[in-house]
Amino acid sequence: MSHYQPGDDVSVIDWKASAASGIPVIRRFVREANLAMVLAVDTGRGMAATAPSGEKKSEIAIFAAELICYLARARGDLVALVAGDSENIVQIPARGGVSHMELLLSRIDSMMTLDAAPSDAGRVLDRALTWFNRRSLIVLITDETRPRPEHEMTLKRLRTRHEVMVIQVADALPTNEDDLNIDDVDAHLDIPRFLRASPGLKREAEAFVQERRDEVRKMLRRRGIESVRATSVDDLIDQLIAALGRQKRVSR
Q: What are phi and psi of 88, to 5 degrees?
A: -125, 145
Going 124 to 121 to 167 to 162, the CA torsion angle's sign is negative
Q: Which helix (H) or strand (E) holds 194?
A: helix 193-196
pLDDT over 50 (residue 252): no
Confidence of residue 189 (pLDDT cuts 50, 70, 90): low
Query: Between residues 145 and 14, which one has the greater pLDDT?
Result: 145
Strands 137-143 and 35-42, sheet pairing:
parallel
Region of residue 29 (left: phi > 0; alpha: psi -120 to 50; beta: else): beta
pLDDT over 90 (residue 165): yes
Contacts for 252 with CB less than 8 Å, ≥ 6 apart? 34, 36
Predicted confidence at residue 249, as pLDDT, reads 46
For residue 71, the one-letter residue type is L
Helix and strand counts by DSSP (H, E) for the chain: 8, 8
Confidence of residue 23 (pLDDT cuts 50, 70, 90): confident
Q: Which of 149-158, 165-174, 237-246 has the lowest mean pLDDT?
A: 237-246
Do 36 and 250 touch, CB atoms closer than 8 A? Answer: yes
Do 92 and 103 touch, CB atoms closer than 8 A? Answer: yes
pLDDT over 80 (residue 177): no
Do 138 and 38 touch, CB atoms closer than 8 A? Answer: yes
Strands 25-26 and 137-143, sheet pairing:
unpaired
pLDDT over 80 (residue 54): yes
Residue 37, CA distances (Å) to 73, 120, 130, 157, 174 in order: 10, 21, 16, 18, 35
Predicted confidence at residue 57, as pLDDT, reads 94
Task: Tell me the three state secondary structure of residue 143.
Answer: strand
Summarised one tens digit per residue, pLDDT across range 108-150 is 999 999 999 999 999 999 999 999 888 899 999 999 989 998 9
Predicted confidence at residue 82, as pLDDT, reads 97
> Which residue blocks in 76-170 are alpha helix, DSSP H?
98-111, 121-131, 152-161
User: What mean pLDDT comes out for the span 206-224?
Assistant: 89
Predicted confidence at residue 95, as pLDDT, reads 92
Query: Between residues 199 and 41, which one has the greater pLDDT?
Result: 41
Summarised one tens digit per residue, pLDDT across range 77-116 is 899 999 999 999 999 999 999 999 999 999 999 999 999 9
Question: pTM for the full model?
Answer: 0.78
Query: Between residues 35 and 216, which one has the greater pLDDT?
Result: 216
CATH fold for the domain made of 35-246? Rossmann fold (3.40.50)
Q: What are phi and psi of 132, to 5 degrees?
A: -110, 125
> What residues does each domain of the chain span?
1-30, 35-246
Rounded distance between C-alpha atoms, residue 143 and residue 43, angstroms:
10
